[in-house]
């Protein structure tokens, strides 16, 4: 009996162990080892920090890295600001069927692949695109306007891609907000700002933090949107990783970049949790 | 007295589509009064309260507080605060922060704010709880935080929306006394909404009985109990035996089972269907008919069951003739204290105690 139970236990444990081991731990250990190897000759490698030194000494690398961090934070903040009213409406104002329909409408774009969605933005924003044509037709612009290949286009595309992942945890968090708390907030003399700042946002905090973590990680690690909408000016850190692995066959350098991106994400999430005073476990439980 | 009432409503009406939730309600509550609005669920009392608080706007009529019209004044600018049915304490804040919230929104300076929060928490007996989370408090303590959170703002009127509904019986009895004491201490006008007649009767100076969006009667608890203005009030306030009947004479009815009852008619003389009310506590019980000779209405019957509940014990008695049953309060002293099911009893009541309303 005990042995049979033991067997079932180990069998049940197997999938998560394989999952975490093969897909997470093994590749990262491999990448970590790889990142500390220097190329000294054809097919000849030794232990060293050259890849990390290259990151620090080559301005293009660390500037791209910093730019990715700053823009990802901006994208996360903008996504939060855009998603909050949407989530509030779905959670507190919409009732019954319309609630489900609104939720579905948020989900709908994600049935298309990220590539296709990004191409949609290109159709709208390119020089011969819809927006440009509209501006010319209404006389607001004399000639064709190129709206692609700048930071604005990248941010728009990334915010659009992150929206759902912000809306879902926010709706979850706001769903449990009793409407009488909002009324009490007004009744006791609070303005709209007071109620939002002191009642609604503290209540939604676990959702805000959970959504922000997910959106930040997706954004920092995004490749397609940044590459297509940013073009040559995109300069997203994932493009550097791609370039090292695929274009230059410099795997150790790419591995170092990969590890740096992972550290960056972890550090910023950690700082975010500290700043908002939220526990990671608590956040994950509530979202 | 020419003093302006703290709260006065003039023909306040609220319609939701075709449904009239509140129908031309007039009343005024004097300064420092404990005013209750008593009615069954769905009678419009919550809508009325939400209009006073400013969460709903009246379709017609006007609400004035100390003479100033509240038309167009939003909830956060009214000198009215509300204790919500579920209390609506902010779960993300401590007790002190909950109480400080309103002062903070008004921009009261930090030093004064803290002093006022401490003072009010002291007065409701929660001085040591200032740093507790509201989720760590008992039901009665949460109640007091909700009241302190409002009273710290020194409102003209404190609205209470069935705040005792969620408490257990013992605590509810205790809170009734406590609320009455707080109201006397602070001398603030309380407008209290409830469907529980005992809460309304025990605590209030004035009670309005509300039914289907209208005030049936406004009066002191004693007036409502003794002189109900309508059949609804007679049935809703206090306990009563209620029988359908037919007028025989201006002040006498025949119950549907055949028994006649002499009583006191409310309203103009009428013929046809009527309703007759007799309170269980006005029914006199005796082992023999002679003891009841002073009463206008005398019957004999058998005890159907004894509903023992200490001082509130009642007998269910079926009349031998006349085909009616009634509940009568059973005194726990005297000849009938130990009466058993099936015993023969004599019972009766004065004409004064039987109330007759045209149906």
**DSSP 8-class letter at B124:** T
Judge: B88–A203 Cβ closer than 8 Å, yes or no: no
Nearest chain B residue to A205 by CA distance is B92
What is the DSSP annotation of B45-102?
Answer: HHHHHHHHHTSS--SEEEEEETTEE-TT--GGGSSEEEEBTTB---TTSBHHHHHHHH
Using the Cβ of B53 and the Cβ atoms of chain A, whether some distance falls under 8 Å is answered with yes
Tell me what pLDDT residue A274 has: 87
Q: Is residue A68 part of a domain?
A: yes
Q: Residues B94-129: pLDDT tens digits?
A: 999 999 999 999 999 999 999 999 999 998 889 999
CATH number of this structure's domain B7-232: 3.40.50.300
For an interface test with A, the pick among B85, B102, B163 (most A C-beta atoms closer than 10 Å) comes out as B102
Give ∠ CA A169-A172-A177 in degrees, rounded to 5: 130
Judge: A186–B149 Cβ closer than 8 Å, yes or no: no
Residues A149/A230, Cβ–Cβ less than 8 Å: yes
Q: Is residue A40 part of a domain?
A: no
Residues A217/A161, Cβ–Cβ less than 8 Å: no
Q: Does the domain at residues B239-358 carry the CATH identifier 2.40.50.100?
A: yes
- Report d(CA A76, CA A219) in Å as an integer: 8
Tell me what pLDDT residue B128 has: 92
CA–CA min distance B148, chain A (Å): 12
Q: Is residue A24 part of a domain?
A: no
Q: What is the CATH number of the domain that holds A171?
A: 1.10.3720.10
Nearest chain B residue to A181 by CA distance is B88
- Report d(CA B279, CA A159) in Å as an integer: 71
Residues A121/A153, Cβ–Cβ less than 8 Å: yes
Give CA separation, B144 vs A220, B83, B133, in Å. Answer: 49, 10, 14
Instruction: Map residue A42 onto helix, strand or coil.
Output: coil
Number of neighbours of residue B162 by Cβ within 10 angstroms: 20
Name the residue with tokens 């209390």: B87
The closest CB to that of B102, out of A178, A180, A188, belongs to A188
Listed in sequence order, the residues at least 6 apart from A215 whose beta carbon sits closer than 8 Å to its beta carbon are A75, A76, A79, A80, A162, A165, A166
CA–CA min distance B99, chain A (Å): 10
Using the Cβ of B101 and the Cβ atoms of chain A, whether some distance falls under 8 Å is answered with yes
Per CB-CB distance under 8 Å, the chain A contacts of B150 are 188
Closest by CA to B38, choosing from B49, B54, B28, is B49
CA–CA min distance A78, chain B (Å): 25
**DSSP 8-class letter at B306:** E
Q: Residues A260-282: pLDDT tens digits?
A: 999 988 998 888 888 887 766 66
Residues B70/B64, Cβ–Cβ less than 8 Å: yes
- Report d(CA A212, CA A80) in Å as an integer: 7
Tell me what pLDDT residue A3 has: 58
Judge: B86–A184 Cβ closer than 8 Å, yes or no: no
Give CA separation, B304 vs B198, B252, B258, B289, B292, in Å. Answer: 27, 27, 20, 19, 21
- Report d(CA B227, CA B243) in Å as an integer: 18
**DSSP 8-class letter at B28:** E
Whether pLDDT at B2 is above 60 = no
Q: Residues B271-294: pLDDT tens digits?
A: 889 999 999 999 998 888 888 888
Judge: A198–B101 Cβ closer than 8 Å, yes or no: yes
Per CB-CB distance under 8 Å, the chain B contacts of A186 are 55, 74-76
The closest CB to that of B88, out of A184, A198, A203, belongs to A184
Judge: B88–A178 Cβ closer than 8 Å, yes or no: yes
Using the Cβ of B91 and the Cβ atoms of chain A, whether some distance falls under 8 Å is answered with yes
CA–CA min distance A276, chain B (Å): 14
Number of neighbours of residue A182 by Cβ within 10 angstroms: 19
List beta partners, residue A212: none
Instruction: Map residue A126 onto helix, strand or coil.
Output: coil
By 3-state DSSP, what share of chain A in percent is helix, strand and coil, each rounded to 5?
A: 80, 5, 15
Judge: B101–A188 Cβ closer than 8 Å, yes or no: yes
Per CB-CB distance under 8 Å, the chain B contacts of A194 are 104-105
Q: Is residue A77 part of a domain?
A: yes
- Orientation angle between helical segments A50-57 and A251-276, nearest 10 degrees: 70
Tell me what pLDDT residue A272 has: 86
- Report d(CA A218, CA A165) in Å as an integer: 9
**What residues make up the domain containing A280?**
50-286
**DSSP 8-class letter at B107:** T
Number of neighbours of residue A221 by Cβ within 10 angstroms: 18
- Orientation angle between helical segments A114-125 and A151-175, nearest 10 degrees: 130
List beta partners, residue B328: B315
Q: Residues B16-34: pLDDT tens digits?
A: 988 999 999 998 888 889 9
Pairing, β B80-83 against β B157-161? parallel
Nearest chain A residue to B97 by CA distance is A198
**DSSP 8-class letter at B329:** E
Query: Which element (helix H / strand E) includes A45?
Result: strand A44-47
List beta partners, residue B246: B254, B273
Q: Residues A222-273: pLDDT tens digits?
A: 998 888 888 877 788 888 888 888 888 888 899 999 999 999 889 988 888 8
Q: Residues B172-196: pLDDT tens digits?
A: 888 888 888 888 888 899 999 999 8
Cβ burial, residue B81 (10 Å; 0-12/13-18/19+): buried
Judge: B84–A189 Cβ closer than 8 Å, yes or no: no
Which sequence spans correspond to the domains of chain B?
7-232, 239-358
Q: Is residue A101 part of a domain?
A: yes
Question: How far apart, in Å, do the first and last CA atoms of chain A sit?
Answer: 39
Tell me what pLDDT residue A1 has: 47
- Report d(CA B330, CA B316) in Å as an integer: 10
Structure ipTM:
0.82
Tell me what pLDDT residue A67 has: 92
Pairing, β B206-211 against β B80-83? unpaired
Which residue stretches of chain A have pLDDT < 70? Answer: 1-5, 279-287
- Report d(CA A98, CA A96) in Å as an integer: 6
Mean pLDDT confidence for B69-88:
91
Closest by CA to A118, choosing from A126, A86, A249, is A126
Name the residue with tokens 């209540």: A203
Mean model confidence pLDDT for chain B: 89
Nearest chain A residue to B55 by CA distance is A183
Closest by CA to B89, choosing from B174, B166, B178, is B166
Per CB-CB distance under 8 Å, the chain A contacts of B153 are 188-189
The closest CB to that of A186, out of B75, B104, B106, belongs to B75
The closest CB to that of A187, out of B75, B90, B92, belongs to B75
Percent over 70 (pLDDT), chain B: 99
- Report d(CA A282, CA A75) in Å as an integer: 24
Query: Which element (helix H / strand E) includes A26?
Result: helix A26-35
Tell me what pLDDT residue B14 has: 93
Question: How far apart, in Å, do the first and last CA atoms of chain B sit?
Answer: 38
CA–CA min distance B53, chain A (Å): 7
b/e map B263-298, b = 16+ CB within 10 Å: bebbeeeeeeebbbbbbbbbbbbbeeeeebeebbbb
A189: left (phi over 0), alpha (psi -120 to 50) or beta: left
Q: Is residue A144 part of a domain?
A: yes
Mean pLDDT confidence for B131-156:
91
Q: Is residue A33 part of a domain?
A: no
Residues B66/B30, Cβ–Cβ less than 8 Å: no
For chain A, how many structural domains are there in total?
1
């Amino acid at each position: 009996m005990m042995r049979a139970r033991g067997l079932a236990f180990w069998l049940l444990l197997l999938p998560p162990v394989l999952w975490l081991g093969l897909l997470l731990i093994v590749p990262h250990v491999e990448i970590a080892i790889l990142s500390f190897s220097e190329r000294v000759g054809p097919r000849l490698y030794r232990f060293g920090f050259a890849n990390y030194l290259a990151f620090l000494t080559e301005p293009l690398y660390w500037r791209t890295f910093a730019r990715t961090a700053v823009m990802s934070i901006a994208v996360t903040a903008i996504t939060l600001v855009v998603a909050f009213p949407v989530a509030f409406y779905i959670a507190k104002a919409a009732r019954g069927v319309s609630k489900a329909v609104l939720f579905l409408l948020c989900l709908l774009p994600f049935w298309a692949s990220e590539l296709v969605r990004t191409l949609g933005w290109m159709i709208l924003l390119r020089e011969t695109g819809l927006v440009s044509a509209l501006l010319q037709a209404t006389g607001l612009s004399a000639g064709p306007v190129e709206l692609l290949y700048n930071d604005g286009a990248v941010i728009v595309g990334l915010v659009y891609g992150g929206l759902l992942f912000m809306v879902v945890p926010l709706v979850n968090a706001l769903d449990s907000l009793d409407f009488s708390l909002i009324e009490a907030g007004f009744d006791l003399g609070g303005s709209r700002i007071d109620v939002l700042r002191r009642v609604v946002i503290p209540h939604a905090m676990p959702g805000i933090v959970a959504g922000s973590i997910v959106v930040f990680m997706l954004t920092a690690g995004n490749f397609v949107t940044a590459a297509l909408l940013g073009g040559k000016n995109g300069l997203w850190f994932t493009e550097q990783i791609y370039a090292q692995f695929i274009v230059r066959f410099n795997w150790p350098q790419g591995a170092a970049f990969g590890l740096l991106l992972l550290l960056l994400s972890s550090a910023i999430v950690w700082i975010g949790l500290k700043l908002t005073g939220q526990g990671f476990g608590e956040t994950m439980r509530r979202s | 007295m020419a003093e302006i009432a703290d709260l006065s409503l003039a023909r306040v009406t609220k319609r939701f589509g075709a449904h009239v939730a509140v129908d031309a309600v007039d009343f005024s509550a004097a300064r420092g009064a404990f005013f209750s609005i008593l009615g069954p669920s769905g009678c419009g009392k919550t809508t009325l309260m939400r209009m006073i608080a400013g969460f709903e706007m009246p379709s017609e009529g006007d609400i004035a507080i100390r003479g100033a019209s509240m038309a167009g004044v939003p909830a956060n600018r009214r000198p009215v605060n509300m204790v919500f049915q579920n209390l609506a304490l902010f779960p993300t804040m401590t007790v002190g922060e909950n109480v400080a919230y309103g002062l903070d929104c008004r921009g009261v300076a930090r030093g004064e704010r803290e002093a006022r929060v401490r003072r009010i928490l002291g007065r409701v007996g929660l001085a040591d709880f200032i740093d507790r989370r509201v989720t760590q408090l008992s039901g009665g303590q949460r109640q007091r935080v909700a009241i302190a959170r409002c009273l710290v703002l020194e409102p003209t009127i404190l609205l209470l929306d069935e705040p005792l509904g969620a408490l257990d019986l013992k605590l509810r009895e205790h809170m009734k006394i406590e609320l009455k004491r707080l109201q006397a201490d602070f001398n603030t006008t309380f407008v209290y909404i409830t469907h529980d007649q005992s809460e309304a009767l025990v605590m209030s100076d004035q009670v309005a009985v509300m039914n289907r969006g209208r005030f049936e009667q406004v009066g002191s608890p004693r007036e409502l109990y003794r002189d109900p203005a309508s059949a609804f009030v007679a049935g809703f306030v206090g306990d009563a035996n209620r029988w359908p009947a037919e007028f025989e004479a201006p002040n006498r009815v025949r119950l549907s089972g055949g028994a006649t009852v002499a009583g006191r008619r409310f309203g103009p003389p009428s013929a046809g269907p009527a309703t007759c009310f007799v309170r269980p506590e006005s029914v006199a019980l005796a082992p023999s008919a002679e003891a009841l000779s002073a009463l206008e209405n005398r019957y004999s019957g058998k005890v159907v069951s004894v509903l023992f509940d200490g001082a509130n014990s009642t007998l269910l008695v079926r009349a031998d003739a006349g085909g009616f049953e009634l509940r009568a309060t059973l005194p726990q002293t005297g000849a009938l204290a130990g009466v058993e099911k099936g015993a023969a009893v004599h019972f009766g009541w004065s004409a004064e105690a039987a109330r007759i309303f045209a149906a």
